[in-house]
Chains A and B, each alone.
Chain A
Amino acid sequence: MKKGNDSGKPKHKYGMVIDLDKCTGCGTCMVACAAENNVSVRPDQSDKERTITWMRLYKITNGKAFPDTEVSYFPRPCMHCDHHPPCVSVCVATATKIDFNTGIVSQIYTRCIGCRYCQAACPYGARYFNWWDAYFPKKKGLDRYLTPQVSPRMRGVVEKCTFCHQRLMQAKNQAYAEDRREIEEDEYQTACTEACPAQAITFGDLNNPEHKVSKLKDHPFAFRLLERIGTEPKVYYLSSRGWVRRLGDNFLPGEYEPVVNQTWMEEEWSTKPGRDTF
């Protein structure tokens, strides 16, 4: 494997922190993602088993009856698993790989043979197969929203969230043109991060102590989806609510340990609206 620098450690590790207490479930992230990445649509998008939603919003509840019912929304992009991504090792044609220098798990559409083994191996359901030819209805103007930097996918291949990789390429090109070796935090942001009206999504380099994500991921309320399986996702979630964090993984009775450190209340970011008191 190529090493990013002399120390043998990857230079960058792009990741995301999604604050579930701020997420209102508006779905803007899904729309922005689909528009940015030329995600094909269907005339009937209600068949959720076969539609493509790189960023998918789940609605979760605490399972209690009114008036104790609580609802939260769970945006789920690709987790870009850091340790031995389940999809990468299984791919027959080396059509998906993890970039050691960025941590981004990519998909090579023109090499994918559509065997769907990666879909079977992914526990997050983050991979989508093109069951139909790409479709962007002209009457609805969707063809005019296509992003020129992103290739639409052909029928019969698997696709997934790429952390808007094309934006990283653009930022790198810009930096190169300006004779810079590094890109700034705000130069490379995913479409969902930019679009979120509640600013619930934070994106950046988890290895860079200057980036906000590297601090947020260490927060006591941070957790990752299905962490104990060992995929080491690079997408973190924040929630002050115990039941939400509990739904982030499977626990045997008595295993779940609630977070007792509540000092977050005093921190600046916690005072933003949309957060429950814990």
Chain B
Amino acid sequence: MDSPLLPHGVKRCSTWAFFFWTLPWLALLAWGGLSAFLCLWKGLNQTNMSNVFAFALWIVFDLAVIALGAGAFFTGFLTYIIGKKELKNIINTAVIIGFICYSGAMAMLGIDIGQPIRGWFIFWHANIHSMLVEVSFCITCYLMVLAIEFIPIILENRKLEEIKELRLFGHNLHEVMAVFAATGTFLSFFHQGSLGGMFGVMYARPFAAREGFYIWPWTFFLFVLSAIACGPCFTILCTKLTEFFSRKKLVPDSAIQLLAKISAWLLSLYMVLKIIDYLGWMYGVVPRAGLTFESFFRQGPYGVWMVVCEMIFCGILPAVILMTPKARQHQGWLIFACLLNCTGIVLNRFLFIIVTLAIPVMPFDRFWSYLPTWQEWGIGLAVVGYGFLLFSAAYRYLPLFPKERELNPITES
């Protein structure tokens, strides 16, 4: 039915099969749509957020998807600025994942604020001292950059390419992509950093507070590093998932291996710095506030096990696997390590958001618990549904993987 829209020389499933594939994701979107409507109509009382958990599931989702989407800017940087040619085979995927993550996060933030209609106040009444302003400015601008990076991929669609003007426009955009890649790198660096800075500057919350360099707490640099360490791994995971569902090889191993190797080095460096950061915090910020490391974990379900998981099982372990060439080249180990790496970063964001707020600072205050409502899950999972939907459509209708034809020649029977 939609065969004229499919790229030349590649095999795609039938329209009906594709339709049924989209149904669960559409269902997630519908759930999210209903939740969003309720939250906008009736207010944030539809959530289980409270004056204690001012930030909750959505912010965890936001920070997680933004970190995971860092593959876009970092792969763009490696491809267009550093000149790693192999990565041209995966850059389209990275850009689309980035676009999905950032646009999803923006949509979620729009619902998360109590007065969505006043969202523009961030730009109009900007408080230049606030890390969140830096985040908002950079994310908004970067989303535009991502959209510009996405346009030439869309214009490569078979039908759209038939229109001469659009084809020329797309090709010319390709030519200047290095400029946008550089802009994206600059913007992304600052908002990934300022997302970390947001928590590091909360000096009255000893669990999150960090010392730093000039106006930037150490979390600023650690968030950038952790994002570029896990972003490529998430791109690899998405590619492998697409290969699994489409039952064919889409990206040459050289590109995957290069990304995995770069991720390994960055993750290792991040781990070393993160250990130093933890030690500096444990022997600096924490005792100065009259607390000990254990005092943070006396109440509630959030224990030291979370830090152990973050650092050892989801940090050092994937770094070791990815650093070992033989393990990295083994498909199973590679996927396992990428999964652990991404989980570790999500856990890190969870610790900075939920655990920071759950731990009372006043000695006589109590620990409060929090469980999201179905509306909160609905909006969070809608981003997942949206991601699957957009990525599937992009895979179906756009030449997402330049080497797909070469790797999977269609034999005439």
Contact = CB atoms under 8 A, between A and B. Distances in A.
A188 B119 CA distance: 36
B362 interface: yes
Given A86-B203, A89-B130, A90-B131, A157 B114 contact: yes
B364 A156 contact: no
A175 interface: no
Interface stretch (A23-31, A99-107, A126-134): A126-134
B130 A113 contact: no
Interface in B186-207: 198, 201-206
Interface residues of B, number: 50
B357 A129 contact: no
Given A114-B113, A230-B203, A252-B290, A93 B118 contact: yes
Contacts of B130: 89-92, 117
B246 interface: no
A249 B112 CA distance: 33
A190 B112 CA distance: 34
A228 B290 contact: yes
Contact of B203 (A74, A94, A112, A229): A229
B362 A94 contact: no
Contacts of B290: 228, 249-252, 255
Nearest to B119: A113
A95 B201 contact: no
Nearest to B131: A90
A123 B44 CA distance: 22
Given A113-B119, A116-B114, A125-B365, A132 B55 contact: no
A249 B365 CA distance: 11
A91 B130 CA distance: 6
Contacts of A3: none
Interface residues of A, number: 54
Contacts of B121: 92-93, 95, 111, 113
A195 interface: no
A124 B205 CA distance: 10
Contact of A123 (B45, B114, B118, B362): B362
Interface string A225-266: 110111100000000000000111111100100000000000
Given A157-B115, A255-B290, A90 B51 contact: no
A131 B130 CA distance: 24
B132 interface: yes
B54 interface: yes
A125 B52 CA distance: 7
A209 B165 CA distance: 78
B136 interface: yes
Nearest to A225: B362
Contacts of A128: 51
A219 interface: no
Nearest to A108: B125
B287 to A, nearest CB: 6
B4 interface: no
Interface string A64-102: 000000000010000000001010011111110000000
A249 B115 contact: no
B37 interface: no
B54 A129 contact: yes
Contacts of B126: 92-94
Given A125-B51, A228-B288, A95 B361 contact: no
Contacts of A90: 129-132, 198, 201-202
Given A230-B203, A251-B290, A49 B125 contact: no
A9 interface: no
16 contacts: A74-B364, A90-B201, A90-B202, A92-B133, A93-B121, A95-B125, A112-B115, A117-B130, A119-B54, A123-B204, A125-B365, A133-B43, A230-B204, A247-B364, A251-B290, A252-B292
Given A111-B125, A129-B54, 17 more contacts: A92-B127, A94-B125, A112-B114, A113-B114, A113-B119, A113-B122, A116-B55, A119-B54, A124-B362, A125-B365, A129-B51, A154-B115, A156-B115, A157-B115, A229-B206, A230-B203, A252-B291
- Those 9 A-B pairs whose CB atoms lie nearest each other, nearest first: A114-B114, A156-B114, A250-B290, A49-B50, A116-B54, A119-B54, A123-B361, A123-B204, A93-B121
